[in-house]
Amino acid sequence: MTWLRNALWRVFPTFVIAMVVFIAGFFFGSQSRVGFAQDWTEMPEYAREAFESFWQAFNLIEDEYIDDVPIETLVDGAISGMVDSLGDEFSSYMDPELFPLLNQDLEGEIVGIGVVIRTNDDNEVEVVGLIEGGPAERAGVLPGDVFVEVDGRDMTGLSQAELATYVRGPEGSSVNIVFQREGELVEFDIVRERIIIPNVESEVVDGDLGYVRLNNFSPDARVELEDAIDALNPDELSGLIIDLRGNPGGLLTSAIDVASLLIPEGTVLIEDFGDREERLNARGDAVDYDLPIVVLVDETSASASELVAGAWQDYDLVTIMGEGTFGKGTVQTWYPLVNGGGVRVTIARWLTPNRHWIHEKGIIPDIEVIWNPMNAEEQADDLQLRSAIAFLRGEELPQPEVEPTSPATP
C-alpha cells in the first residue's frame, strides 16, 4: 500500500523508534528563523570572564597541538559540545554540510540513491530498505549491506546524517560505494537521481471507505491531504480512515493547517514557553465531511502527528485507533548561523486543547490494537487497518491471524 511501509516501518520496528527520534526532533517546530538579533554574534559582557578558559583552550590547541587543525573543525566541535551540554535530545547542531539537507528533506524530495538506513549494534550504517525502482535497487544493493567507503572515503564511525552528505550529490552524478556483504566487499557505481517522496497516498478500500495516508507534515500537507480526500468523492463514502502511522512529524505550521481541516474554531494547541503561554487557533476553514473518521496511530507517530491526533481527540471529532504514540511534547526552532550551519533549540512545551502534555506518554488510542509484525506474512495482514474497517462497519474487531512476534530487545 505504501513504499515507505514496505521499505521500513513494520519490518524494522526497533529501528523505527530510533529513527523517529532523529526525524521528529529535526523537523518539528516552527519554520527556521531566517534572521536573528545582531548581538547574537557578539559576546555579552556578562560572559566574557566565563569564556576566558574557552579561549585559553583554543589558543593552546592552536599553538601547541602537534597537527594543524582547521579552525572550522574546532568551532564545529565547540558548538556541538555547547548544545550537547543542555542534555536535551531534541536540541542539536548541524554543521554547514548538513544544514542545507534539512529543507531538502522537508520538501519531500532528495537527490540520492534511494536507500533507507540505520546504525546497527556494531555502530555501522547499514541498508535496511530500498525505494522500489530506485538507483540502489537497480544497481543490486541489498538490505543488510553495510557502508564501508563512499568515493574512497572511509565511512567508519560516521553517523547516518554525516554519511548522507557523502552519498547525496548533484542529480546525474555518479557515486562509488563499497559495501560489506556477508563478510565480502561489493562495489557499485550508482548514478544519483532525484527521488520524490510521496507524502500522501489514498485509495478506496472495502468498497466505499476512504483511506488516506499522510507520511510527513511538509509545507503543503494540508492541501495534499484535502485534495486526496476530495479525489475519493467523500459524498459517496460511508467512512474515512486517516493513517498517521509511521509519520514522524514535520512543521508546526503544517500541523496547525492539518488540524484545522476538521476543527472549525478554537484552540489547536497551547505552547508553554515557561514564562508565558500562547494559544494557537484553528484557521477557520474546516471541512465538514459528515463521515465517521478513524485515525490510525502507532508508536512511530510522533510530534506533529501527535499534535493533530491529540487535538482531534480532545474535540471528539475522530476515533483514534492503534497503539500509543511516541510521546514528543516539545517544540523546536532552527536558527541559522553565520557559518552556514544551524542550531535547533527547544523553545516550548506543547499541550493539547484540554491541556494534556503527552511528553514521554504519547496519545492513548480510543481503541487499542496492538500489531507488531516482524516478517512479510505478518506485514501483509494489516490488523490495524482491518480493525478500522470493521469499526466503521459496526462489526466485531478482527483478531490477528498470525500471532505477532515480539521485537527483540535491542
Express each pLDDT in 364-389 by its tens digit: 999 999 997 765 566 678 999 999 99
Could you tell me if 63 and 133 lie in one domain?
A: no
82/175 Cα distance (integer angstroms): 34
C-alpha cell at position 47: 560572559
90/344 Cα distance (integer angstroms): 8
Looking up cell 514535520 gives 250
Could you tell me if 272 and 160 lie in one domain?
A: no
Considering 137, 161, 196, which residue would you say is the last residue of a domain? 196
Residue 239 amino acid letter? G
190/152 Cα distance (integer angstroms): 14
Helix, strand counts (H, E) of the chain: 12, 20
Per the structure, the complete domain to which residue 154 belongs is given by 109-196
Could you tell me if 259 and 347 lie in one domain?
A: yes
Report the pLDDT value the prediction gives residue 13, as an integer from 0 to 100. 34
Could you tell me if 252 and 332 lie in one domain?
A: yes
Q: Does the residue 399 lie in any domain? A: no
Could you tell me if 171 and 205 lie in one domain?
A: no
Looking up cell 515557561 gives 274
Indicate which residue of 301, 314, 382, 387 is catalytic: 314
C-alpha cell at position 232: 475519493
Report the pLDDT value the prediction gives residue 300, as an integer from 0 to 100. 83
Indicate which residue of 303, 305, 382, 387 is catalytic: 303
User: What are the mean pLDDT values of the chain's consecutive 10-residue runs (410 residues total)?
Assistant: 40 33 36 45 90 96 95 94 91 82 59 83 84 91 94 88 83 95 96 86 96 93 97 97 90 94 97 94 97 95 94 98 93 88 91 95 96 68 95 92 44
339/95 Cα distance (integer angstroms): 8
Give burial (CB, 10 Å; 0-12/13-18/19+) of 56: exposed
Could you tell me if 137 and 224 lie in one domain?
A: no
Q: Does the residue 158 lie in any domain? A: yes
Report the pLDDT value the prediction gives residue 96, as an integer from 0 to 100. 87
Known catalytic membership, residue 303: yes
DSSP state of 274: S
Give Cα 343 to chain centroid, integer Å.
17
pLDDT in tens, 79-116: 999 999 999 888 888 888 777 766 555 555 678 898 87
344/365 Cα distance (integer angstroms): 30
Instruction: Residue 218: name the closest of 127, 136, 117, 110 by CA.
Output: 110
Indicate which residue of 91, 145, 328, 382 is catalytic: 328
C-alpha to C-alpha distances, 63 to 75, 147, 265, 272, 293, nearest whole angstrom: 16, 37, 63, 46, 66
Known catalytic membership, residue 173: no
Report the pLDDT value the prediction gives residue 6, as an integer from 0 to 100. 40
CATH number for the domain harbouring residue 259: 3.90.226.10
Q: Does the residue 410 lie in any domain? A: no
Known catalytic membership, residue 328: yes
Looking up cell 538506513 gives 117
Q: Cα dihedral sign for 70, 74, 75, 79?
A: positive
Considering 151, 166, 196, which residue would you say is the last residue of a domain? 196
Q: Does the residue 16 lie in any domain? A: no
Residue 335 amino acid letter? Y
C-alpha to C-alpha distances, 217 to 28, 59, 75, 251, 292, nearest whole angstrom: 9, 45, 33, 6, 23
Could you tell me if 118 and 206 lie in one domain?
A: no
Could you tell me if 180 and 278 lie in one domain?
A: no
Report the pLDDT value the prediction gives residue 259, as an integer from 0 to 100. 98
Report the pLDDT value the prediction gives residue 405, as an integer from 0 to 100. 44
DSSP state of 9: I
pLDDT in tens, 109-150: 678 898 878 778 788 999 877 888 899 999 999 989 999 999
- b/e per residue, 226-252, with b = 16+ CB within 10 A? bebbeebebeebebbbbbbbbbbbbbb
Question: Are 15 and 120 a contacting pair, CB within 8 Å?
Answer: no
Instruction: Residue 90: name the closest of 336, 328, 338, 308 by CA.
Output: 328
Q: Does the residue 406 lie in any domain? A: no
Question: Are 136 and 189 a contacting pair, CB within 8 Å?
Answer: no
Could you tell me if 258 and 378 lie in one domain?
A: yes
Could you tell me if 288 and 383 lie in one domain?
A: yes
C-alpha cell at position 396: 466485531
Number of structural domains the chain divides into: 3
Considering 155, 181, 196, which residue would you say is the last residue of a domain? 196
Q: Does the residue 8 lie in any domain? A: no
Helix (H) or strand (E) holding 321: strand 319-322
CATH number for the domain harbouring residue 184: 2.30.42.10
Could you tell me if 270 and 291 lie in one domain?
A: yes
Q: What is the mean pLDDT of the chain?
A: 85
Q: Does the residue 25 lie in any domain? A: no
Q: How many residues does the chain have?
A: 410
Q: Does the residue 141 lie in any domain? A: yes
Residue 231 amino acid letter? A
Report the pLDDT value the prediction gives residue 101, as an integer from 0 to 100. 66
36/34 Cα distance (integer angstroms): 7
Could you tell me if 168 and 234 lie in one domain?
A: no
Question: Are 402 and 377 a contacting pair, CB within 8 Å?
Answer: yes
> What phi and psi values does residue 350 have, to the nearest 5 degrees?
-120, 145
202/209 Cα distance (integer angstroms): 11
289/212 Cα distance (integer angstroms): 14
